Amino acid sequence: LKVVTIDAIDRTGLRPDGTIVKDLPESADLIKSVFAAEPNTENEGLTTTDNGFVFYEVQSITPARDRTLDEVRQKVAADWTAAETDKRLDARAQELEKRLKAGTTLDVIAGELKLEKQTKRGLKRDADDADFGKEGAAAMFG
């Protein structure tokens, strides 16, 4: 029998520091059951997909609260940076698209950006292309 102790977990499977609790058997069902359980009571075990069992005990419940700025500062900064990067990339892509539609060639734009224009052959509308992904390939076909 393997015993695992998790000091604290939220409904999404995160520890208080924001890291994911990994290797939980039947994680979705287990987390749902843990949050429905009362502290220090015996709980019914969960059956796993390989016909095993998972038993769990809730020792205490920490009341929900808003995190302090110090607790979330890094995540907020990272999320803001990612959102700002996406926003700027989208604006740049729209600007380049507008120029292409106005008649500027790919060769000219590639030269301005110090990039080399490349040709890709065999691209299919519904393919999950290694370079562009499924959404990117579909977008090229309108």
How much is the pLDDT for 59? 94
Residue 114: CB atoms within 10 Å: 6
How much is the pLDDT for 111? 95
How much is the pLDDT for 87? 98
How much is the pLDDT for 12? 92
How much is the pLDDT for 67? 86
Q: Are the C-beta atoms of residues 30 and 37 closer than 8 Å to each other?
A: no
Residue 27: CB atoms within 10 Å: 15
Whole-angstrom Cα distance, residue 53 to residue 34?
15
Cα dist. 5→21, 39, 58, 62, 83 in Å? 11, 15, 10, 16, 36
Q: What is the pTM of this model?
A: 0.55
Residue by residue, pLDDT tens for the chain (142 residues) are: 788 899 999 999 999 888 999 888 888 899 999 999 999 999 999 999 898 999 999 999 999 888 899 988 998 999 999 999 999 999 999 999 999 999 999 999 999 999 999 888 888 888 899 999 999 888 888 7
How much is the pLDDT for 90? 97
CA angle 73, 77, 78 (to 5 degrees): 120
